[in-house]
Amino acid sequence: MSYSKEKVESILNNGISRRSFLKGLAASGVLSSLPGGILQANEDLNTKIPYLGQKNYQTFRNACPRNCYDTCSIKTYVKDGVMQFIEGATESTYTRGGCCVKGNSYVKRVYSARRLKFPMMQVGGKGSGNWKRVSWDYAMETIAKKLLEMKKEDGTLLGAALTKYSGNFGITHYGVEGMFNSIGYTTRLAGTPCWPAGIDAQNLDMGDMWCNDPEEMKDSKFIILWGVNPASNSVHSMKYIYEAKSKGAKVVVIDPVFTEAASKASQYIQIKTGTDGLLALGMAKIIIDANLHDQKWLDANSKGYKEYKAYLDKEIKLDNVSKITGIPLAMIKELALSFVKAKPATIWMGYGMQRHTNGGSMIRAIDALVAVSGNIGKYAGGARYGHLSTWGFNYAALSQTKPEGSVGYTGPEGAKGEFAQVGGEKAAYTDRFLNINKTARELLNAKEPKVRLLWVACKNVFSQDFDRNQLIRAFQQLDLVVVADQFFNETVKWADIVLPVATQFEEYDVNVSYWHYWLSLNEQAIKPLFEVKSDVEIAALLSKHMNKLEAGSCTFPQSVDTKAMTIKEFNPGIYEQFGIKSWEELKNGSVKAKAVIPYADGKFKTPSGKFEFYSDKALELFGSALPTYLEVRKPYDKFRMTSPHSRWSLHSQFQNLEWMEDMHPEPYVYINPDDAEAKMVKEGDTVAVFNKQGLLRVKAKVTDNVQAGTVLMYEQWYNNNIYNVNELVDDTSSDMGAFKTGAPGVALHDTFVNFRKL
């Protein structure tokens, strides 16, 4: 089946009415029992069309805005207004003509019968499944009325809360925050579940989170992939790792899991989960004891090296390091010495490692190891974690003024999240910030005023947040839950109003990565399908309805064009950084920022201006100035459960698509053979995995890719499958995160479970 113009038109025009029973329902406004029914597009049969030759397509520039290292530059092929296929843009040496398995499913994402198509209201109450199709005007008027009513009754709009995160990192999507900025002072679920402990750690050490260009890894002589699995989650980075390897570099993977990347490395070292920081401290001690550390660089560029060395001398016993990490001492010594002798050498730290109660301290310990080895500020070196150095947009969609007379929060101010660091003017009031990583309890506990309205955008709360039972309670006590999304996901089930959102192919936008250094324009390639609208168009519509009911109640523009909105995000700084004169040059393909080696000038944005082994800020915030060993969370059940990212999805996106199901139809729990034998579980058995939080039924795969005492289940959201790994995860915080992103991270991988055969 391919998507021809006729087919798409028939879906658009007749998708509902051609089925008489649905026609009746739609005409009379009677409820459909299942949203799936009203959403079902007609999947007509159509013979395949072959590739028709370059000249027969219109091409557009797009970019993948999902939360991924690779942020691919896309070239979209359109015929008669219908997307035919996409390719990775060849202009980007990073994307190099290919997308990943997820990106290649975009045509299905756009034309999937499962897409949300119209605004709908759940009139039988949250979770009832009684949905009614409504007009955009009706939906937005309902929301506007509610907001104004709340403002009148509470004297403030702090009862309106926004939770938005990484479903779409396109810059204009900060217009969602802009929409909330433009109605007054509101409540925000702040922080990030992704990488906060590591961001804090790197900021304490270096005053920034700023990594070398990943393309440089091709020239590294020694690469440690530490708790990161690019073979699944950053496939385009693998070519640089392979290139380095083919030129003689050693590639070592340190991970509790024998990952896909580990299977392609020179050496794999399995470490006991949560002991990585200690290994790094041990390696640093070995390097210093062998007098192979870079004393010259340390003297010139670091603060507190003496205290750090004293700590290593006094507290770090190598026999203990070996015992606790489970790695033979000889292997640790060989690793440390070969790492320090290879120049340049680099370490890439994954975001899983910091999802522990000692996560931030582990990243600090590894930063310190790289510093000791003299690889910070060097080409093809660096302590790699991520960067936001190419994110200097105007955030025009975000920066809105408050309506006159807005009343807000007078408590202590929190940070606003790591991506959009442009603040409004300093005022007597602020927004109220709740911890996004404890969404359920924060929504339940917020008082004066209590949260009454929740807007969810770019986020699947029920798949991504923790403690499902509490979440249901929290959602049910809200007067109005609005979810703007592309698919009927778990969060939509608990919404009152659902608004269908455009894909990136239906709007203009601009994208950069937190890993590589490319900038991509996202053009509107096709007209929006059905009644979908972009997030900023929704904001404009809300503004129109609020102002109609009460003039001046919302400052967001009342009509927007995503192209104009995108153009407003550019500034001379961006042009200078990327070496272009106008945004229009991006129509010819992505461009890369001018090469800069982070910290090559020895300038760090720390209070001392140096790399800080000893950080006063760390002492003040976390009680330890030095990167020290901190024990990981104590088990509260029989087996540790880790829930890393899968290659099939980006958090809860993509796995739900029909095409993805052809390759990966169901979830599994991966169990070590020893544990499986003890529990009499065989490959393919259905097991119950359970703990104090909840229970999941899932099929077993038996493999020593995971170590004994550990089970692994990927974080994913399936269509029509109740699997959700976060049902087992509590909201225990990691050690760091509150410094830069407003809230600590979550110790996701410090989850403990038991299991048995069903």
Residue 666 CB-half CA count within 13 A: 10
Of the two residues 126 and 638, which places its CB atom closer to another protein in the complex?
A: 638
Minimum distance, C-beta of residue 667 to another protein, in the bound complex (Å): 13
Long-range CB contacts (< 8 A, 24+ apart) of 12-21?
12/529, 12/530, 14/42, 15/40, 15/41, 15/42, 15/117, 15/530, 18/42
Minimum distance, C-beta of residue 565 to another protein, in the bound complex (Å): 29
d(CA 590, CA 291): 45
Of the two residues 28 and 54, which places its CB atom closer to another protein in the complex?
A: 54
What strands lie across the sheet with 58-63, from one edge to the other? 58-63, 73-79, 82-88
Minimum distance, C-beta of residue 30 to another protein, in the bound complex (Å): 30
Of the two residues 85 and 391, which places its CB atom closer to another protein in the complex?
A: 85
Q: Which amino acid, 543?
A: S
d(CA 493, CA 480): 13
CA torsion 93→99→103→108, rounded to 10°? 130
Selection from 738, 736, 717 nearest residue 727 by Cα: 717
Of the two residues 378 and 664, which places its CB atom closer to another protein in the complex?
A: 664
What strands lie across the sheet with 432-435, from one edge to the other? 131-133, 120-122, 497-500, 480-485, 453-457, 160-164, 187-190, 432-435
- Helix and strand totals (H; E) in the chain: 26, 27
Sequence-separated (6 or more) residues with CB below 8 Å from residue 412: none
Minimum distance, C-beta of residue 718 to another protein, in the bound complex (Å): 15
Of the two residues 28 and 47, which places its CB atom closer to another protein in the complex?
A: 47
- Angle 359-372/276-289 helices, nearest 10 degrees? 20
Of the two residues 2 and 608, which places its CB atom closer to another protein in the complex?
A: 2
Sequence-separated (6 or more) residues with CB below 8 Å from residue 623: none
Minimum distance, C-beta of residue 644 to another protein, in the bound complex (Å): 13
Selection from 253, 256, 254 nearest residue 712 by Cα: 256
Q: Distance between terminal CA atoms of the chain?
A: 40
Of the two residues 56 and 477, which places its CB atom closer to another protein in the complex?
A: 56
Cα 468–chain centre separation? 20
Minimum distance, C-beta of residue 640 to another protein, in the bound complex (Å): 12
The bridge status of strand 480-485 relative to strand 453-457 is parallel
Minimum distance, C-beta of residue 321 to another protein, in the bound complex (Å): 15
Minimum distance, C-beta of residue 53 to another protein, in the bound complex (Å): 5
Minimum distance, C-beta of residue 113 to another protein, in the bound complex (Å): 10
Contact residues: another protein, CB under 8 A: 1-3, 45, 47-48, 50-54, 85-88, 96-102, 104-108, 231-232, 235-236, 238-239, 242, 253, 258, 260, 262-272, 326-328, 331, 647-648, 658-664, 674, 701-705, 707-709
Minimum distance, C-beta of residue 712 to another protein, in the bound complex (Å): 11
Minimum distance, C-beta of residue 236 to another protein, in the bound complex (Å): 5
Query: DSSP H helical segments within 551-664, as ranges?
Result: 562-567, 572-578, 616-622, 658-663
Of the two residues 103 and 381, which places its CB atom closer to another protein in the complex?
A: 103
d(CA 545, CA 210): 42
Minimum distance, C-beta of residue 493 to another protein, in the bound complex (Å): 23
DSSP line for 678-692 = HTT--TT-EEEEE-S
d(CA 210, CA 389): 7
Is there a contact between 365 and 278 (Cβ–Cβ < 8 Å)? yes
Of the two residues 563 and 701, which places its CB atom closer to another protein in the complex?
A: 701
Minimum distance, C-beta of residue 324 to another protein, in the bound complex (Å): 12
Of the two residues 260 and 561, which places its CB atom closer to another protein in the complex?
A: 260
Minimum distance, C-beta of residue 98 to another protein, in the bound complex (Å): 4
Cα 509–chain centre separation? 18
Of the two residues 392 and 709, which places its CB atom closer to another protein in the complex?
A: 709
Is there a contact between 671 and 701 (Cβ–Cβ < 8 Å)? yes
Of the two residues 13 and 263, which places its CB atom closer to another protein in the complex?
A: 263
Of the two residues 148 and 257, which places its CB atom closer to another protein in the complex?
A: 257
DSSP line for 311-356 = HHHHH--HHHHHHHHT--HHHHHHHHHHHHHSSSEEEEE-SSTTSS
Place of tokens 């660089």: 297
Of the two residues 413 and 658, which places its CB atom closer to another protein in the complex?
A: 658
The phi-psi region of residue 651 (left if phi > 0; otherwise alpha if psi is between -120 and 50; otherwise beta) is: left
